[in-house]
Amino acid sequence: MAEGVQRRRVETGERYDVFHTDCLARDMVDHVTSRWGVWVLISLQRNDLRFYELRESIQGISEKMLAQTLRVLVEDGLVWRKVEPTTPPQVTYGLTEFGRDVGEPLTELFDRITRRLSALGTA
Amino acid sequence: MAEGVQRRRVETGERYDVFHTDCLARDMVDHVTSRWGVWVLISLQRNDLRFYELRESIQGISEKMLAQTLRVLVEDGLVWRKVEPTTPPQVTYGLTEFGRDVGEPLTELFDRITRRLSALGTA
DNA sequence: GTAAGGGCATACCTGAAGGTAAGCTCATGA
DNA sequence: TCATGAGCTTACCTTCAGGTATGCCCTTAC
């Protein structure tokens, strides 16, 4: 990925480096907090899952977006992918160590929100 | 907000309620993890900030999107807004208790990602 | 023989997110 | 007197995320 990016960060020495558009972490955070990335990471936090299991647990996601989201997360090193060369092939996804590290605060975030919402006594 | 939504959740009794499109928490999470919402919440986690301070620290955000993002976060009860009726008016934003509660895992998420990226020795 | 299952890839198209540019307000300072 | 600043709002336009539909591959089951 774009070399020299971090170098520029260091040179500027600003307080909020991550808020700069040319920040690697910013791209990563964008992937993690993407529309579907959030739910994939939270789902996988509980168990490794097959493609169709993910598709079924995350309501509203299309196969296209699921595949695309998974590809990005695998590229980023957050998710691993294992293919059993049976027919039909069975593909399983799970979190890498980094993925679990990142998924944890995400799950926490989600838990706090649901807790707050139920505390509000919404029917 | 849409009543009966939580009721339906309870009735279905599924494992991943939040992944349903008609889940309140899902909307909230979508706001929090929105393109700019993330950075606003992380920024405010450190200090209360003026509108222009937010605009300057979050590189690439337009005034329109900043205003819009803040409006949503205020509506959701994550951010408060204080107007000093001077001229020009001075508007300050900060996190509510709920906002701090939600911003914390978000900041943690961001920290873990930056830590990992710098551990990779990029640059 | 044909339907279904599993995990995609691909093409095409739409809607909404987000960018740009301008305006508004009112008071202060040059 | 006119520009400037702070914090927006509005109008308009563009981009691209994401939806739908389809195909593919190989095999077992009906």
Residue A19 lies in a domain: no
Over range B45-68, report the average pLDDT: 93
Q: Which among B20, B29, B116 has the least Cβ separation from residue A98? A: B116
pLDDT of A63 higher than 60: yes
Residue B13 domain-assigned (yes or no): no
pLDDT digits 0-9 by tens, A16-60: 444 555 578 888 999 999 999 999 999 999 999 999 999 998 988
pLDDT at A16 (0 to 100): 42
Instruction: Establish whether the CB of A80 is closer than 7 Å to any nucleic acid atom in strand C.
Output: no
pLDDT digits (tens, 9 = 90+) for A74-101: 999 999 999 988 878 899 999 999 999 9
| Structural domain includes residue A4 | no
The answer to whether B64 CB sits below 7 Å from nucleic acid chain C is yes
Strands (E), chain A: 49-50, 79-84, 90-95
User: Range of B65's domain?
Assistant: 24-122
How confident is residue B6, by pLDDT bands cut at 50, 70 and 90? Answer: very low
SS3 A51: helix
Tell me what pLDDT residue A65 has.
95
Q: Answer whether A106 touches B (CB < 8 Å).
A: yes
Q: Which residues in chain B are contacts of A9 at CB distance < 8 A?
A: 123
Inform me whether the pLDDT recorded for B63 exceeds 90: yes
Strand partners, A75: none
Residue B29 lies in a domain: yes
Q: Please report the sign of the dihedral spanned by the C-alpha atoms of residue A43, residue B22, residue A109, residue B50.
A: positive
Give domain status of residue A18, yes or no: no
pLDDT at A54 (0 to 100): 94
pLDDT at A118 over 60: yes
Chain A residues closer than 8 Å to B53 by CB: none
Q: Determine the Cα–Cα distance for residues A76 and A53; give it in Å rounded to an integer.
A: 22
- A14 domain-assigned: no
What is the domain count for chain A?
1
* Residue B10, domain member (yes or no): no
Q: Are A67 and A75 in contact (CB under 8 A)?
A: no
pLDDT at residue A9 is higher than 80:
no
Name the residue among A108, A114, A92 with its Cα closest to residue A42: A108
Residue range B20-42: mean pLDDT, rounded: 86
Contacts of B60 in chain A (CB under 8 A): 20-21
Asked if the C-beta of B105 comes within 8 angstroms of chain A's C-beta atoms, the answer is: yes
Q: Count Cβ atoms within 10 A of the Cβ of residue B88 and give its class: 0-12 exposed, 13-18 middle, 19 or more buried.
A: exposed
Closest Cα in chain A, distance from residue B16 (Å)? 6
Report the pLDDT value the prediction gives residue A20, as an integer from 0 to 100: 59
Which CATH number goes with the domain that contains A95?
Answer: 1.10.10.10
Within chain B, where are the H helices?
5-12, 24-32, 37-46, 51-57, 63-75, 97-119
